[in-house]
Structure 1
C-alpha cells in the first residue's frame, strides 16, 4: 500500500525511463507502446483516485510491477524483446510478462512485485490466489507444447523476494535453479533498488541445443591466415575473428547469412565507393542497369559511414559459422557477379568460417512459410538459432516479419552492400 502522490511520482519516473532509455535495440516499437499504455493507464487510475477524495488516499498500485518490468528490460543481457505483459497465442490464455532472449537463449519471464508474505505455494483462500505451483505448472505446460515461441527456459523474477519455504518447493518440484543477479545485472535508476531483496529462478524447458550438432568443415588455416590477412582493411577486419575449431559449442559464435558475406567482400565496402561516385553516370547505368540507384546509394552510405568500422565491434573475437545453403548461394553469386578482387576476398573469407549443416531450430521450422518468411531464410536464421548464435544480416524485411510473429530471435542488422565486379 502507498499514497497516491508517491505512486504518481513513480509512474512519471517510469514514463521517463521508457522515453529516454528503452530503444528499439532492446524492445520493439510495439513493446514500447505496450509499456506506455500500461503506465499511462495506471497514471490515469491514480489521477482519478486522487481527485475523488479530499484526504490523502492509500491505494494498492501496479507501479511496483511496472517498475520490475522496466528493471528487467534494461538489463544488458536481455535482448530481442518481442512481447510484454500479454497472453500467448494458442496457449489457453496463459499470460507471460516478457518474451525475450537472455544470454542468447529464448526465455519467458514471469514477474512478481508482490509482498513475499502473500505468495503461497498452494491455493490460499485467505490470500485469494491460486498458488505459485499452479501458475508455474500452467506456464510450463504451455512452454513445452509451444512451437514458434518455444523458450529454452522459464525465468521467475520476484522483485521483493521469495519466502525460503516457497523457493525450496520451486527447486524441488520443478528443478528450478536460483540465478545470481550479480554479473551482467545492473541497477536501474528508478525510485527503488532491487539489489538486496530480489530473487530470480530458472527452470529449463526442452529446447533445441547445439551439443548434438556436427561440423561439416573445419580446417587449419593458421599459416594461410598469417600470410593473407595483412595489408588492407578487409584483411585487418578478418584478423580480428577467431579461427574455428572442433570444440566451438558454448563459444561466442556469430552466424553469417548471404547478405553479410556479400557485404564483407563487396568492392563498395573495400575502398571502391570513391571510384563509383566519380565514374560517368552513363557508364554506371550500362553496368548496373536497374540497380544503378541502389548501388550509388550504397556508395554514398559507405563514404559517410564505412561498413568495416561498424562491423569491427560486431565480429571481433567471434567464431563465424555459416550453413551449407549460404555457402552454396554465396559461391554462385560471387561466380556470376563478383570481380577478381571480390572472388579473392570471398575465398579468404570462407577460410575463416566454420561450415555447419542446414539445421533450423524446431521453433523456426514451425513458422508458416510465406512470401515474407521464405523457406531459405528459415533455414539460415533457424540454423543460427539452433546454435544460439545471432545472425548477421541486411535482410531487414525478414527480421521485421519474424518480430511480427512474436518470436524473440537473435539478429544483428547491417547496411546492405552489392557486388560491383571489382
Structure 2
C-alpha cells in the first residue's frame, strides 16, 4: 500500500489532504489484523495522532504542502506492508537502550531472533545524508546500522545475537546496500544505481579504517577552504592528507594503471585530471608540518595494513618531516612564534563551542581538527563531510580542502589494468 504526493502545483492541496486522510483511515483498518501483537496499539495511536493533525488542518483550511510531504503515514504504510510478509511477529515498535540513546526496532519476529527496520525514505535522500548533506542531527542509514549492530549484541535472544534486516520500501542505492551488508545486515528492497560514497562496498575488515577517508565528491568543496591563510606558517595534517600524499596513485601509477574497483577507478581518473601531489607540495612549501599522536597512530595503522612497499617508504619519509605533538597541545608548544593569528579568534574551539559527535562528526576526526585549532595551524584534509557538519553546528575550522586518494599499491597487483596510451 503506497501513496505519493504529486508535485504538480495545480493540484488542490485540500484534495490531496483528503486523499491522505482516507489513506490513514485505511491504515487504521489494516492495523486490526495485527491487534494481538505487542505494540500494535501504540502504532494505532501514532497513526491516529497523524490523522488528528491532518483533519484539523483540513477543517481549518490551514493545510500546507509540507504537512503532506512530511507525514509519517508513508512510513507506517510501509511498516504494515512488511508486517503482512512477516511470520511469527512478536512485537511492533519495540524500544531498546544503547548507552544513553533509545533504539526503535520496527518489527521483532522469529521468536525474537530477527530485528526488522523499515525505511520508506527516498533513496536519493538517503544517499545525500550519507554524504553529509542532510540537516544537522539527522543520522545517516550507515550510522543507524552501526547502532543496530551494537544494540543487538547487548540483547541476545536464546543465546544468539538477533539477525538484523533493513527493508527499503522505495529501494536503496547499491553502494549503500553493500556497505550495510558488510555489517552483517540483510538488505531487502530494489537495488538502484548510485555513485560511490565514502566507501567502496568492501566488507574486508582490514580496509575499514581507510574507508573512512575515501571521500568521493570533489565538486562543491572549493567554498569550504578558508580564505586568506597564506600568512599562517603552520600546517596540521589530517590522516586523509597523509594518505593522499603517499598514495601510489598520486605518485605516478595513475598515468600507468586503471582499476576495476569503482572507487579506485574514479580516483585514478580524477588524479589524471587534477594531480594532488603538486597541490599538497604547494601548501606545504615554507610551512612547518605538524600532526597529533592520534593522526600519526591511525595513519601508521592504515599504512601497515593496506599500504604497499613504496607507500610505506613514502609514509615514513613524510613522518620524518612532521612534528608530532600530543593531542592536547596548543600553539605555545609549537616551534613557530607565539603570535596569535586573528583568524583563530573567530573560530577558536572552546568549552563554550563544543561539537556534538554523530553522523560525520567522528570522535577521531574531532580530535585531529581540534588539535589543528589549538596549535593555530591550517588543517589540510579531504574530509569535507566533517567540515560541512561542523559548519552546521557553527564551528568554522581553518582548513585547506583537497581531493581524497586511497593507498592503492596492494590493489595494483590484483585489481589494476594497464592504461592504454
TM-score by length of 2: 0.37
Report the TM-score, using the length of structure 1 for normalisation: 0.37
